Structure 1
Amino acid sequence: MVVGSEGRRGWRLALIVVAAVLLTAGGVAVVRTLADRGPQRPVPSASTPGATLTPTPSPSPTGPPPGAAAITGPLNLLLVGVDTRVSDPAWEPHSDAVLLLHVPRGLDRAYLFSLPRDLLVDIPAFPRAGYRGGRTKLTHAMGYGSRVPGRPGKPDPAQGYDLLRSTVSGYTGLRIDAGAVLTFGGFDRLVDTLGGVDLRVDQRVVSLHRQPDGKHRAPKPGGGGYVGPQMVYEPGVRHLNGWQALDYARQRYITGGDYARQRHQQQLIKALVAKILDENLARDPARVEQVVAALGDTLIYAGGPRIVDVAYALGGLDPDRLVLVGLPGTSVGRGSGYRGEQLTEVGRGFLPELRAGRADAYLAAHPELRQKS
């Protein structure tokens, strides 16, 4: 899955619709059922993959799909944005963003939190890829798992997701019911189709990658960065189009670093979730399938329930009950001895309370974990 023209891009932001309805903010020509529940299967397609969606009104909802009623929760959805490099087709995909959406039984509320890409974790052995296991950064799990013996230079992101899923499940103690691996492709087109998004920018963000007119900044001669004017996002309520939304939430060389980027990703997800649910998109199975089929080759859906079933089941979620949670962390090692990140005691403590159904009480005792939306 190699897309785009900007070097490192894998993209977290396509996570928006998946977080709301597990659709796609990057479509797919093939949906793969990856967990332990079935073979690969094609997506019904009524249009050419990569076709542009037009902002025409959705048809009237056609009623719940057959499997939606069986989805009652709790659900744990793993949302992965991958880092790809268009200049190197053999580049192993790295999980540049890892988010989990936990929906308790009843499906009336949800908690969205991120794991740092550099989180030090135990990655289990994975014989399919010839990986023996080890303790390293979470971002490497996708890459190690994507290796296909006998096929050097041809990584398999779907296989990489399997190892990442096992790693995340082992660290958090959560059973992963479904998930999605996405690149950034198609995301900006989807945001534009929705008419853009209104977002409260909470700090000044200077783009490393884009000019004010949206054009990509030119690489610095000799490498090591970019040159030219930079797009700047000033604090306040801003209406962002597709490329702006993508660009804003990919910036990590800002005050707060990757933890600020995680916050901005979550805020944008929530803003778009609200817009999608307000338009009742999730409760229209035909429209869900149209979106899935229409947006390019940038999603692998992983799980047992069908996308349209999960979409419909989550379509009644009140966006105000989607709680953004920031898990604080600290660095392990310094300077050239930097090894990665670890969650603080308070951050780690959220996970067992979430599993036990006591997330609200824990957040009340630690209000600093609640992200502003």
Structure 2
Amino acid sequence: MIMAVSSHAKAKPNARHSAKDLTRRAARRLLLAGFAVVLFIVSGVGIAYHDLQSQVNTLDINGLLDDDRARQVTDSYEGRPVNILILGTDSRAGANNVDGSEGSEEVAVARSDTTMILHLPADRSRIEIVSIPRDLLVDIPSCRTADGGTTEAMSYTPFNTAFANGAGASDDDAAVAAGVACTLATIEDLTGLYIDEYLVVDFNGLTTTVDALGGVNLYVDEDINDTEFTGLVMSSGCQHLDGATALQYARVRHGVGDGSDRQRMPRQQNLVAAMLRTAKSKNYFTDADALYSFARAALGSLTSSPGIGSLTTLAGLAMSISDVGMDQTILITMPNEEAPWDLNRALPTDEAADVWAALKADTPISEALRGDTQEGADSSSDADSADATQEDQPTQSDAGSDQPDAAADSRTPTADATTEDPAAQCY
């Protein structure tokens, strides 16, 4: 009996020890399972990141720029103003052959069909985009070409010649890099600005990006009937555009207005505004699946500088302006006027220098567009501009379209004109 009790007494510690072992093993398994889940998530994020990063085509153009040009190298643009050059090229190579003209003499050399400077101020309180007319007469510096040669400096030459000078007759990455470098150098000479980054969008890139957004809504201020060139036929009013139609709208010059490139720029700005509005409405920063799908489709169709081509930099910049409303998004054409000796060419006006000075000083260009600071002016004019109703906007746009000289708005810009977004009523 004593022996039995003794045996039973010894068994209890073993039971307690076994229970502890079971608890420890369960804890280890739970820990391993949790670690596996975390590892799976981290691996998935890592794979997604590398997948997206691999979609971006980046080109370093530093070697094509003057050696004495001080390149600013930074890991973050936080707390700094940023100037980004956006170039739309008219290459017809590959998927860009939208009109069947690839190989023809007319498009043998790729040109910068659209040029915009995107300025983000240091405090990220607004977005400012300034278009440069492709037919603006400028001085183009000597540029290095893709084949290692150099071009002669040129005076009073159409702006879009700069890209062609660098790129030559090729459409490969080396040619694009040289075209961008020559355009960037020309812009810096023209404006006095430092261009931090660049982004190149070709025809296919625009189409793909708009389709990735699910199309865009915009307001068309006059009927378009261009059956011969782009094939675009569109009535005025609110329209929903898919990628292919958006490209037609951005390119159209015939069958609307006076056929000039300067009249085409407001339509391109209208499209950009619609794209920005659509992107903001998608809540990409709260919908990871939607963001991933959009990013994968859009990034694969763009070419950029290495800085903005980094997803961390790109995401950081995007997040920093995510709260900027369309009322603080300014899209204008640099002030210009017809060249007296050639009505198809343009020259900068004095107001253009004011715009560049404002960007360089990181002050709102809307203030520069008011002229001599309007000392003593009624301060209620700003409020009137900001409070413009959606119903009033189409009337303002239609009134502008009736002017015989489409460049008039660019010669005498106003603060009101910079904040209009007729597409607001189409959402």
Flag whether TM exceeds 0.5 (same fold): yes
Alpha-carbon RMSD across the aligned residues, in angstroms, is 3.5
Match of 2:393 in 1: none
CA distance in 2, matches of 1:122, 1:308: 35
Which residue matches 1:47?
none
* Contact in 2 for aligned 1:33/1:304 (Cα 8 Å): no
Give the drift of 1:311.
2.7
| Pair 1:145–1:100, CA change in 2 (3 A) | same
What letter matches 2:123 in structure 1? Answer: G
Q: Give 1:29 shift.
A: 4.5
1:361 aligns with 2:364: no
Equivalent runs, 1:259-338 vs 2, <5 Å: 259-281=262-284, 291-295=294-298, 298-305=301-308, 306=310, 307-332=314-339, 334=341
Unaligned runs of at least 5 residues, structure 1: 1-26, 38-66, 211-215, 217-229
> Displacement of 1:295 after TM fit?
4.8
TM-score normalised to structure 1 length: 0.69
Matched residue SS, 1:117: coil
Distance 1:195 1:153 in 2: 30
Verify the 8 A CA contact 1:72 1:105 in the aligned structure 2. yes
Is the CA contact 1:325–1:370 (under 8 Å) kept in the aligned structure 2?
A: yes
Partner residue of 2:103 out of 68, 81, 88 = 88
Normalised by the length of structure 2, the TM-score is: 0.61
Aligned twin of 2:166? 145
Q: Does 1:111 align with 2:155?
A: no
Higher relative contact order (CA 8 A, sep 6+): 1
Q: 1:249 to 1:152 in 2, by over 3 A?
A: closer
Distance in 2 (CA, whole Å) between partners of 1:318 and 1:371 is 11
Please give the secondary structure, in 2, of the residue aligned with 1:276. Answer: helix
Shift of 1:93: 1.6
Structure 1: distance between partners of 2:159 and 2:277? 30
- Number of matched residues? 297
AA in 2 matched with 1:255: G
Cα separation, 1, equivalents of 2:171 and 2:89: 20
**Contact 1:329 / 1:344 at 8 angstroms: preserved in 2?**
yes
In 1, the alpha carbon distance for the partners of 2:331 and 2:171 equals 40
Q: Does the Cα contact within 8 Å between 1:35 and 1:304 map onto a contact in 2?
A: no
Which has the larger helix fraction?
A: 2
User: 1:5 corresponds to which residue?
Assistant: none
Sequence identity percentage? 26
- Residue pair 1:113, 1:266 contacting (<8 A) in 2 also: no
Match of residue 130, structure 1, among 141, 145, 150: 150
| Aligned twin of 2:420 | 372
List runs of 5+ in structure 2 lacking aligned partners: 1-52, 64-74, 94-101, 372-412, 422-427
Displacement of 1:75 after TM fit?
1.0
Distance in 2 (alpha carbons) for counterparts of 1:287 and 1:178: 26
Residue 394 (structure 2) aligns with: none
Change in Cα spacing, 1:28 to 1:346, as seen in structure 2 (3 Å) is farther
Match of 1:121 in 2: 138
Shift of 1:197: 1.4
Deviations 1:32-59 (A, max 9, x none): 242549xxxxxxxxxxxxxxxxxxxxxx
Q: Residue 185 of structure 2 is aligned with which of 159, 166, 171? A: 166
CA distance in 2, matches of 1:308, 1:153: 28
Contact 2:208 2:301 in 1 (8 A): no
